[in-house]
Amino acid sequence: MMSLFRGALLLVCVAAAGLVVPAGPASATPAVQPPTMIKSFSPTTIALGDTTELFLQVSNPNAQGTLTGVGFVDELPAGLVAAPFTDNDFCDGGVLTITATKISLTGGTLTPGVPCDLGVQLQGTTLGVKANTATATSTNGGTGSPATASLKVGGVPIISKAFVSPTIALGASTALTFTLVNFNAVPLTGAAFTDTLPPGLAVASPNGLSNTCGGTATAAAGGGSIALTGGTIPASSNCVLSVNVRGTSAGFWSNTTSQLTTAEGLTGSPSTASLTVVAPPTLTKEFGPSTVKVGETTRLTFRLTNPNPTTPLSRITFADPLPFGLAVAANPSVSNNCGGVPSVGPFSLAVAYANASLPGNTSCTFSVNLTATSAGVKNNTTTIVASSGGTGRPATASMTVIP
């Protein structure tokens, strides 16, 4: 109790003496934020020689307090030109100066919630993508973050591609054409693209390369890529590059180019085309039984198969010259589910088949009776197999005739 009384008495004495008791620490003053800037073009794409509006807005992000000495310098990119103009009372007393190549502000004032807006007409004088960046500053807030907007001057080029024949036989070739289109009233230079062929295609030999785009076109025979560098696409026109490609593996092959680039910075989207490479039919044959006596009969069966999953084959044709000692039986008892036109006859020395058709991923058979006329091992090989899918390999089978 005595210590409490002494403490209270001390406070009374201090107050009576007119002394000031220090207060607690004062709250910190919020830092002043720099001005913010946003900018945009409208429209964002124009033709060469047309105009667009560059919109700039400078704002004070602080909840309270005025920004002073507000300014910015916007150096216009090459190929954008403004009409000169001066305003001595922009942004509450600032000086706005617009020249052909630069927009600048000095000495502006910004109160919270009252942005400073500016729209400037610009003309596109060269082709390309124009990136435009500026940063707002102030005396008491410092430097803000850069603001960027982009404008595209000129129409983008187009690359299109096509296989002259959308379907080819395995081992056959077709022309692959690339058409480069320029919608602008001036040429596009430095045109370049690459095209990596899928694994089932290769540049044919000879490659048949032709090029109206200038520059350097490359397509090595047997290789897997085609390229153009340094080409020129004529004004308001097109040019064409063509090369022969060969089907090296059966299948459906989709092929996409790179982007089409130009020295003016205008870029065309990739282009895709597809080619179906069709495999020829396979042919097998067998004798049953494979051993007979002279004068007895065996049955020769041919099996045709279409190895393509979905592509039908037509015009399937082959012949089978019989070896000495075998002939078509007097009663050939032909069996056929391949369609087309089988060709056999009593005592004929050959069997032939023409114009069979097969849907994708199917097989068919053709059978005929043969008579053994002499002893020995009879090796029998067909001709090659012609078809809409190219040429297939011959089929071979052997049988033995005993005396």
- Position 350 scores a pLDDT of 76
**Burial (0-12, 13-18, 19+ Cβ within 10 Å), 95:** middle
- Identify the DSSP state of 20: P
Domain 158-278 has CATH 3.40.50.720: no
Cα angle vertex 221, ends 217, 222, to 5°? Answer: 130
- This prediction has a pTM of 0.74
Tokens 């052997």 label which residue?
Answer: 398
8 Å CB contact between 396 and 377: no
Closest C-alpha among 69, 50, 47, 238 to residue 155:
47
Q: Which residues contact 317 (CB under 8 A, 6 or more apart)?
A: 340, 352, 353, 354, 355, 356, 385, 386, 387
Q: Which residue has the tokens 């279409």?
A: 306
Below-50 pLDDT ranges, the chain? 1-26
Q: Are 219 and 203 in contact (CB under 8 A)?
A: yes
Q: What is the pLDDT of residue 349?
A: 65
**Tokens 């076109």, located at residue:** 217
Q: Exposed (0-12), middle (13-18) or buried (19+): which is 401, by Cβ within 10 Å?
A: buried
- pLDDT of 344 reads 85
Cα–Cα distance for residue pair 157/26, rounded to 1 Å: 65
d(CA 93, CA 386) in angstroms, rounded, equals 89
Give the residue carrying structure tokens 């005595």: 2
pLDDT at 11: 28
Instruction: Tell me if 242 sits within 8 A of 196, measured CB to CB.
Output: no
Q: What are phi and psi of 9, to 5 degrees?
A: -65, -35
Q: What is the pLDDT of residue 348?
A: 65
Q: What is the pLDDT of residues 92-143, one digit of tens each?
A: 999 999 999 999 999 999 999 999 999 999 999 999 999 999 999 999 999 9
CB 373 within 8 A of CB 294: yes
The 3-state DSSP composition of the chain as helix, strand, coil percent (nearest 5) reads: 5, 55, 40
CATH code of the region 36-153: 2.60.40.740
> Which of 96, 38, 107, 11 minimizes the C-alpha distance to 68?
107
- From residue 272, alpha-carbon distances to 178, 197, 372 in Å are 10, 11, 58
Q: Report the SS3 class of residue 4.
A: helix
In this prediction, residue 342 carries a pLDDT of 84
- Looking at residue 28, its pLDDT comes to 59
pLDDT given for residue 17 in this prediction = 39
Residues carrying CATH 2.60.40.680, the chain: 158-278, 282-402
Task: Write out the residue limits of the CATH 2.60.40.740 domain(s) in the chain.
Answer: 36-153
Distance CA 340, CA 338 (A): 6
Report domain 282-402's class.
mainly beta
Tokens found for residue 3: 């210590």
CA distance 296 to 98: 108
